[in-house]
Amino acid sequence: MLDFAIFAVTFVIVLVGAVLYLYPSSRRASGIPGLNPTDEKDGNLQDIVGRGSLHEFLVSLHQEFGPVASFWFGSRPVVSLGSLQQLRQHINPNHSTDSFETMLKSLLGYHSGGGGASTDSIIRKKVYQGAIDTTLKNNFPLVLKLVDELVGKWKSFPEDQHTPLCAHQLVLAMKTITQLALGESFSEDARVIAFRKNHDVIWSEIGKGYMDGSLEKSTSRKGHYEKALSEMESTLLSVVKERKSQRNKSVFVDSLIQSTLTERQIMEDCMVFMLAGCAITANLCIWALHFLSTSEEVQDRLYKEFEEVLGSSPVSLEKIPQLRYCQQVLNETLRTAKLTPIAARLQEVEGKVDQHLIPKEGESNVFDPDRFEEESVKKSFHLLGFSGSQTCPELRFAYTVATVLLSVLVRQLKLHRLKDTLMEVRSELVSTPRDETWITFSLRN
């Protein structure tokens, strides 16, 4: 039986180096067994759609061709690794590819070499990653300020008021990502609202309209999508020109401007960071708070850790690595939930990660941060491209924002789920719940 452990603990789109690895173009990737493209333009896209999801497609692909199999995503040949043994042989510590970023660029029509192995591509990737790290370091007080404002708003609510979790976390993510990416001009509500309008249109098609082919069949929808994308690109290009004359060089776009990238490349990287960063940050915070609302014990353990590590002081970048249990909570949130619109959910066959057995349709649905106490499990988690590793800089950004949110929230409030609206973690869930998730807060004594 094939070892499908990688499918048990991950959303496929961020299987960096584990599921998707691009090979030089050929009709069949480097002679690896697999599928020829069924369409010159779309590759095996219709085969993926026909199976119902990328996850189901990959399971059937490996059942037919073995642990190493190839297929085509558009014009890109892709190799899928279906076992940890094969994954360990593949890992290259000197260069890694973010498959979510690669797919997002492909869907946006950006051919910027994010997944390539050329020197220019590697340099550009390092510039992108470095820009995110520098931005967090320079603007950490702003993240604290935005989180404090949100928690302060929640504290003012009556204890029986139902709070829309998804809506509030999406606003927090958008405020954070726009200001840290593009600067203080996006502290104006009008600019954030305009960003959200186009953001929502673009994400409504990515992962659905493209994957089921419905976007190409609707002239009006495609026109609406292209208009939103064009407006976003125009806004970003305008910001690039504006920031070139700014003395304050502290946000994401500034770091890109100081590199050798062209204005077009800067715009593309800003677009990817804002779209991917906003979605991943919002969904990580949504699911983390949802799971906390179902477990008073986890909340209390977090509170104890924050008190021991931080005391009465706010969290800092330097203190974050010391918040080990908080990291376990976020790791388990990431393992259990989905953060991107295109994702695989639940392992369909029995697998094993180190000494931990992942039973069929079992363990993945149980939220248990304690599973990450052991170092071997953490290493497996890193191997699969998670836990804010080098392979996904947007995820590192999301982990930082989520840690700040938990450190402020848990020390002041308790979260409670509404018993009549329990949100189940079901295999059909995509990135956020189908319906709004409502919770209540009470003051922590």
Q: What is the mean pLDDT of residues 291-312?
A: 96
Q: Is the pLDDT of residue 310 over 50?
A: yes
Q: Report how far residue 419's alpha carbon sits from residue 423's, in angstroms, rounded to the nearest whole number.
A: 9
Q: Are 436 and 166 in contact (CB under 8 A)?
A: yes
pLDDT digits (tens, 9 = 90+) for 134-192: 999 999 999 999 999 999 999 999 998 999 999 999 999 999 999 999 999 999 989 99
The highest-level CATH class for domain 83-443 is: mainly alpha
- The predicted structure's pLDDT at residue 403: 98
Highest mean pLDDT among 90-99, 214-223, 235-244 belongs to 235-244
Q: Report how far residue 304's alpha carbon sits from residue 123's, in angstroms, rounded to the nearest whole number.
A: 42
- The predicted structure's pLDDT at residue 122: 83
- The predicted structure's pLDDT at residue 84: 59
Question: In terms of pLDDT, which residue wins out, 338 or 192?
Answer: 192
Local confidence band at 409 (pLDDT 50, 70, 90 cut-offs): very high
Between helix 189-205 and helix 263-293 the angle, nearest 10°, is: 90
Local confidence band at 244 (pLDDT 50, 70, 90 cut-offs): very high
- The predicted structure's pLDDT at residue 354: 35
Which are the contacts of 19, defined by CB distance < 8 A and separation ≥ 6? 6, 12, 58, 80, 81, 99
Query: The dihedral of CA 385, 48, 344, 133: what is its sign?
Result: positive
Output the 3-class SS for the chain: CCCCHHHHCCCHHHCECCCEEECCCCCCHHHCCECCCCECCCECHHHHHHHCCHHHHHHHHHHHHCCEEEEEECCEEEEEECCHHHHHHHCCCCCCCCHHHHHHHHHHCCCCCCCCCCHHHHHHHHHHHHHHHHHHHHHHHHHHHHHHHHHHHHHCCCCCCCEEHHHHHHHHHHHHHHHHHHCHHHHCHHHHHHHHHHHHHHHHHCCCCCCCCHHHHCHHHHHHHHHHHHHHHHHHHHHHHHHHCCCCCCCHHHHHHCCCCCHHHHHHHHHHHHHHHHHHHHHHHHHHHHHHHCCHHHHHHHHHHHHHHHCCCCCCCCCHHHCHHHHHHHHHHHHHCCCCCCCCCCCCCCEEECCEEECCCCHHHCCCHHHHCCHHHHHHHHHCCCCCCCCCHHHHHHHHHHHHHHHHHCCCEEEEECHHHCCCCCCCCCCCCCCCCEEEEEECC
Q: Are 50 and 59 in contact (CB under 8 A)?
A: no
Question: In terms of pLDDT, which residue wins out, 220 or 30?
Answer: 220
- The predicted structure's pLDDT at residue 293: 93
Where are the domains positioned within the chain?
A: 83-443
- The predicted structure's pLDDT at residue 95: 38
Q: Is 326 annotated as a binding residue?
A: no
Question: In terms of pLDDT, which residue wins out, 406 or 45?
Answer: 406
Between helix 263-293 and helix 165-182 the angle, nearest 10°, is: 150
Local confidence band at 417 (pLDDT 50, 70, 90 cut-offs): confident
- The predicted structure's pLDDT at residue 429: 32
**% of the chain at pLDDT higher than 90:** 42
- The predicted structure's pLDDT at residue 377: 57
Query: The dihedral of CA 12, 16, 22, 23: what is its sign?
Result: negative
- The predicted structure's pLDDT at residue 89: 53
pLDDT digits (tens, 9 = 90+) for 72-122: 877 667 777 676 565 555 444 333 345 567 667 777 878 644 444 567 878
Q: Are 337 and 425 in contact (CB under 8 A)?
A: yes
Local confidence band at 412 (pLDDT 50, 70, 90 cut-offs): very high
- The predicted structure's pLDDT at residue 373: 75
The model carries a pTM of 0.75
Q: What's the chain's average pLDDT?
A: 77
End-to-end CA distance of the chain: 53
- The predicted structure's pLDDT at residue 376: 56
